[in-house]
Amino acid sequence: MAVAATVIHVDLDAFFVSMELLRRPELRGKPVIVGGGLGPRGVVNTCSYEARRFGVRSAMPVSRARQLCPHGVYLESDFTFYAPASRQFHAILRDFTPVVEPAGADEAYLDVAGTEQLFGTPAEVAASIRARVRGEIGITASAGVSANKLVSKVASDAGKPDGLVVVEAGHEAEFLAPRAIRELPMVGPKTAEVLRLLGVHTIGDLQRVPAATLVARFGRHGRELHDRAHGRFDAPVHSGRGEAKSVSREMTFGEDEPDGERLRAVLRGQAERVAADLAKQQRSARTVTLKLRFPPFETLTRSVTLPGPVDLADELFQAGAALFERAWAEHDRRPVRLIGLGATQLQERARQLQLGETMQTSRLAETVAGLRERFGDGVLRRGAELRAPRRANDTPEE
């Protein structure tokens, strides 16, 4: 018996660009590119469909985008402007069901099983959500409806922009078959290239490859590839994000940074922001991780697992700074392109004061975190951070 098609994936169309067009409507119809930094090391966050016709894509270097689309309109990302719309979007989804699994600021999965008497069929729910997004936020959304998250995701992508695609239960493999192999989640460029050597260009081609052949070539992931090609995917929709496995911050410099004092200051600022994120989640960490990238693109990570859980900025910075000093010295104190600090092996926060310790440090950290939460990360920075070169990217990662 087929599972009912009650899973919806909703995705805001070119979210950042759509938000920019709300305040700059004269740009409608033009190739608009929104990037995390517009310098030579900036990265495209999203772009309009007009820009995509020139080959511009998300995660592409801005420098490459300028080559493909030199006449495009390039805008710096403004997350403080996008965030309220993102919160409003997710609030709309929760009006239809509590079973909402965010997949980012601009997309989420819902399972609307059992809500038919209130809101109609899953397709009607998806249509209502899209209408509310358009009416209340002023932008468009695409949606896919099917029996599982994988097929619903492919369906919403197939409907872009501003579309709704419904895949009835039992028709998953039929829907997927004509689609390009890269449209199947988990198939990246390297996997696609290997599959092309096997004569696989569409998902239908992949469906015809015996599972044993895929397992022999890809190991345990071969079985997963076979199942996904047929639209089989049993991961349920989880309410909320679930618990983050890590919290981290990283920064890519506009120019390679040779100054150790400034690098330490940036690392200190990242420790404060990671500590604030841990506090909001009421978590502590057992492992601290440093990430460094040297030009042209040499990346290394170093980690240390501590005797006990840590959650204060001073503790995180002390561990991260020790990792930094050793790693930087091992690489001849070369200029740094990127630096990042992360906390992993998270657990419930249950902190006790150490001998001689007071609450003063915690209160100061809470005050700083509160100001940043209210007014943004840039409201407070250390002096050495402010002297650092302009950054191409400074974003939280989880």
| Domain identity same for 73 and 109 | yes
CATH of the domain at 125: 3.30.70.270
User: Do the beta carbons of residue 270 and residue 341 sit within 8 Å?
Assistant: yes
| Domain identity same for 54 and 195 | no
Q: Max alpha carbon distance in the chain (Å)? A: 68
Q: How many CA atoms lie within 13 A of 79 on its CB side?
A: 13
- pLDDT for the residue numbered 238: 86
Amino acid at 118: L
Q: State how far the Cα of 386 lies from the Cα of 52, in Å rounded to an integer.
A: 36
pLDDT, tens digit, 9 for 90 and up, residues 295-337: 877 888 999 988 888 889 999 999 999 999 999 999 999 999 8
- pLDDT for the residue numbered 51: 96
- % of the chain beyond a pLDDT of 90: 62
Structure tokens belonging to residue 188? 């990246």
**Residue 17 reports pLDDT greater than 60:** yes
Mean pLDDT computed over 350-355: 48
| Domain identity same for 152 and 189 | no
| Domain identity same for 267 and 135 | no
**Residue 163 reports pLDDT greater than 90:** yes
pLDDT, tens digit, 9 for 90 and up, residues 51-107: 999 999 987 888 899 999 999 999 998 888 998 999 999 999 999 999 999 888 899
pLDDT, tens digit, 9 for 90 and up, residues 172-213: 999 999 999 999 988 888 889 999 998 999 999 999 999 999
pLDDT tier, 3 (very low <50, low <70, confident <90, very high otherwise): confident
The answer to the question of residue 241 being in a domain is no
Q: Which of 229, 259, 276 is the last residue of a domain?
A: 229
Stated pTM of the model: 0.66
**Residue 339 reports pLDDT greater than 50:** yes
- pLDDT for the residue numbered 280: 79
pLDDT tier, 170 (very low <50, low <70, confident <90, very high otherwise): very high
| Domain identity same for 275 and 196 | no
| Domain identity same for 40 and 153 | yes
List 20, 50, 101, 107, catalytic entry: 107
Structure tokens belonging to residue 114? 């059992």
Q: Which of 121, 148, 165 is the last residue of a domain?
A: 165
Q: Which domain holds residue 356?
A: 246-397
- pLDDT for the residue numbered 242: 53
pLDDT, tens digit, 9 for 90 and up, residues 36-62: 767 766 788 899 999 999 999 987 888
- pLDDT for the residue numbered 59: 79
CATH of the domain at 361: 3.30.1490.100
pLDDT tier, 246 (very low <50, low <70, confident <90, very high otherwise): confident
pLDDT tier, 166 (very low <50, low <70, confident <90, very high otherwise): very high
The answer to the question of residue 87 being in a domain is yes
Q: Is 58 helix (H, G, I), strand (E, B) or coil?
A: coil
User: Do the beta carbons of residue 12 and residue 133 sit within 8 Å?
Assistant: yes
User: Do the beta carbons of residue 105 and residue 19 sit within 8 Å?
Assistant: no
Distance, C-alpha 224 to centroid of its chain = 23
| Domain identity same for 223 and 206 | yes
Known active-site residue 107: yes
| Domain identity same for 145 and 264 | no
- pLDDT for the residue numbered 283: 85
Q: Which of 165, 192, 214 is the last residue of a domain?
A: 165
Residue with structure tokens 């092996």? Answer: 345
The answer to the question of residue 236 being in a domain is no
Structure tokens belonging to residue 306? 């501590």
Which bin fits 162, alpha (ψ -120 to 50), beta or left (φ > 0)? left
| Domain identity same for 161 and 183 | no
- pLDDT for the residue numbered 187: 87
Mean pLDDT computed over 356-373: 48
| Domain identity same for 253 and 393 | yes
The answer to the question of residue 2 being in a domain is no
Strand arrangement of the beta sheet that strand 43-47 belongs to: 43-47, 32-36, 73-76
The answer to the question of residue 237 being in a domain is no
Q: State how far the Cα of 205 lies from the Cα of 178, in Å rounded to an integer.
A: 9
Q: State how far the Cα of 391 lies from the Cα of 135, in Å rounded to an integer.
A: 36
Mean pLDDT computed over 363-386: 49
Q: How many domains does the chain have?
A: 3
Q: State how far the Cα of 176 lies from the Cα of 163, in Å rounded to an integer.
A: 17
CATH of the domain at 195: 1.10.150.20
Which bin fits 108, alpha (ψ -120 to 50), beta or left (φ > 0)? beta
- pLDDT for the residue numbered 397: 42
Mean pLDDT computed over 222-236: 93
The answer to the question of residue 239 being in a domain is no
Q: State how far the Cα of 12 lies from the Cα of 156, in Å rounded to an integer.
A: 10
Amino acid at 266: V
Q: State how far the Cα of 310 lies from the Cα of 96, in Å rounded to an integer.
A: 39
- pLDDT for the residue numbered 241: 55
| Domain identity same for 222 and 253 | no
Structure tokens belonging to residue 309? 């859980």
Structure tokens belonging to residue 149? 């998250």
The answer to the question of residue 1 being in a domain is no
Q: List Cβ neighbours of 230 (8 Å cut-off, separation of 6 or more).
A: 172, 173, 176, 207
Residue with structure tokens 């290394």? Answer: 300
**Residue 147 reports pLDDT greater than 70:** yes
Structure tokens belonging to residue 288? 């601290």
Q: State how far the Cα of 373 lies from the Cα of 355, in Å rounded to an integer.
A: 31
pLDDT, tens digit, 9 for 90 and up, residues 268-303: 999 999 998 888 778 889 899 999 988 877 888 999
Q: What is the mean pLDDT of the chain?
A: 85
| Domain identity same for 365 and 256 | yes
Fill in the DSSP letter of residue 180: B
Residue ranges in the chain assigned as alpha helix (H): 15-23, 49-52, 62-68, 79-94, 116-119, 122-132, 149-159, 172-176, 189-197, 203-207, 211-218, 220-229, 260-281, 313-330, 360-375, 383-386
Which one of 1-10, 109-118, 292-301 scores highest in mean pLDDT?
Answer: 109-118
The answer to the question of residue 234 being in a domain is no
